[in-house]
Amino acid sequence: MLAALAARPDMSGKTVNNYVSVLRLACALAVVDRLLTVNPVDGVPSAAWQRDPPDPFTREEAEAIIAAMPEGQERNLIEWRFFTGVRTSEMNRPGFRGGSTL
């Protein structure tokens, strides 16, 4: 099974690690239940993975985007989003009003 996971170029290292961690736990339980004498997954190293670093707009790019927009609420919203760092998921949640929730 581990060889099959290692042979999957379409899977990221993180995905492989997720599968291996479940398999490692299942084998550990089998050892506790005395179905196995040793956990065969204990010696398997974690796969290497690294998330791409974010590539945010520079201040100049953000200001150019805002300057290219017509005046109005849409421009205000985009400017507010650039400079507060609010995430789309945070902004789109039900009941979001853009101010403090205190």
Asked whether residue 102 carries a pLDDT value surpassing 50, the answer given is no
Q: What is the pLDDT of residues 29-75, one digit of tens each?
A: 999 999 999 999 888 888 887 777 888 899 999 999 999 999 999 89
As a whole number of Å, the end-to-end CA separation of the chain is 51
φ/ψ of 91, rounded to 5, equals -70, -35
Read off the DSSP letter of residue 68: T
Coil, helix or strand at residue 4: helix
Distance CA 43, CA 52 (A): 28
Domain positions in the chain are 1-50, 59-91
φ/ψ of 31, rounded to 5, equals -65, -45
pTM: 0.47
